[in-house]
Amino acid sequence: MIELIPAIDLINGKCVRLSQGDYHTQKVYNENPVEVAKALEAHGIRRLHVVDLDGAASHHVVNHRTLHALSTQTSLVIDFGGGVKSDEDLQIAFDNGAQMVTGGSIAVKDPERFCSWLKRYGAERIILGADVKERRIAVSGWKEESNCDLFPFLDNYIKRGVGQVICTDISRDGMLQGPSLELYGEVLRQHPKLHLIASGGVGSMNDIGELQRAGVPAVIFGKALYEGRITLEQLEQFIIHS
């Protein structure tokens, strides 16, 4: 069964979504992210992807109080990303209840630090973020495009011990037009044992079903849920029958 991982993206402590990472497109869906998380948990969800968009833009963790509230008021497993750029940021995330932390920009800009985290905490707790635009890695809240091509980037870090990768196709993120099945298929053909977490483009339960049939281990989705294209009841039924 594919693992279902709803996303809560945070700006000013509120649950928002962007389109293609553009901060000017932000739409607030709920001013109380804990309320959203509790509803998800009540319908069988066990894991949550929390993104500190303020942190991604300002290069340090900002919404740690909201992370703490989510972790203490639910029993969801939380993976956290956005603004984790230093050892202090990482410690703040773990101290406030994140069980896993995703590093994207840091893996491009400071690979030795990222690898030190991987060595210290293990592949179960440190996730590689691979956000791609035309198969190149984007960083700093997707505001910058790096010179790193996706596949050499993945090859390098998998050799260094990475076991989980969140791969987001930025062109599809928030667009509700379907995930990048071809891209994920290519990644899994090259790295069949990788715990690949697909992100971006999911617009319906049918999209999730297609990812499952393609052998993708896990999927992150957000906007489809908040726009009512995926319901809590559908998620619960999917979990029960998978």
pLDDT at 175: 83
pLDDT at 47: 98
Which of 28, 96, 26 shows the shortest CA–CA distance to 56?
A: 26
Range of the domain at 186: 3-241
Helix (H) or strand (E) holding 25: strand 22-30
pLDDT at 23: 86
Total structural domains within the chain: 1
Domain of residue 22, CATH code: 3.20.20.70
pLDDT at 237: 98
| Active-site residue set | 9, 131
Q: What is the pLDDT along the chain (242 residues), one digit of tens a residue?
A: 999 999 999 999 999 988 887 888 899 999 999 999 999 999 999 999 999 999 988 999 999 999 999 999 999 999 999 999 999 999 999 999 999 999 998 999 999 999 999 999 999 999 999 999 888 898 865 566 677 899 999 999 999 999 999 999 988 888 899 999 999 999 999 999 999 999 999 999 999 999 999 999 999 999 999 999 999 999 999 999 98
How far is it, in rounded angstroms, from Cα 56 to Cα 35? 23
pLDDT at 166: 98
| Residue 36, SS3 per DSSP | helix
pLDDT at 141: 54
Tokens of 90: 């990482």
How far is it, in rounded angstroms, from Cα 229 to Cα 181? 19
Residue 178 · residue 24 · CB < 8 Å: no
